Amino acid sequence: MARSSSHHPYPRSARVNQILREVISEELLRLGDIDERLGFLTVTGVETTADMRQAIVYLDSLDPSRSEALEERRAQIQSSVNAQTRLKRTPKLSFMADPAIASGNAVEDVLRRQHHDDE
């Protein structure tokens, strides 16, 4: 039985996702000082496709003005990813609100209403 020569405890895609999350977070922080529409955004995760050509960047929130600002700055963010990583190709980034955050907020709203009704 062949053994893997990899010393990494998790798959390449997970490592790439983590690196992208870190680089994009730093770039958004820097761009937040330049473009007030970005404000303070938190990257909650990144999910790349199997071929590493595309990546979805999940954010804590995404209103229309932030979405527009991110689309305008997408090439700049991708350029930063390219400069700071050693990937064969830089994935095309797309941005969306993290559905887990929205679900969590909905659960909290239900719990608050339930607590209020119980009083």
Q: Which domains does the chain have, with CATH numbers?
A: 12-118 (3.30.300.20)
Identify whether the C-beta of residue 24 lies closer than 8 Å to the C-beta of residue 46: yes
Helix (H) / strand (E) containing 96: strand 92-97
In angstroms, the first-to-last Cα distance of the chain is 64
Kindly indicate the confidence band of residue 104, based on its pLDDT and cuts at 50, 70 and 90. confident
Average per-residue pLDDT for the chain? 86
- Cα dihedral 9/12/17/22 (nearest 10): 70
With 50 as the cut, is the pLDDT of residue 2 above it? no
Output the pLDDT for position 3: 47
d(Cα 107, Cα 116) in Å, to the nearest integer?
14
Identify whether the C-beta of residue 45 lies closer than 8 Å to the C-beta of residue 58: yes
d(Cα 17, Cα 25) in Å, to the nearest integer?
12
Kindly indicate the confidence band of residue 43, based on its pLDDT and cuts at 50, 70 and 90. very high
d(Cα 32, Cα 64) in Å, to the nearest integer?
16
DSSP structural state of residue 89:
S
Backbone dihedral angles phi then psi of residue 99, each to the nearest 5 degrees: -65, -25
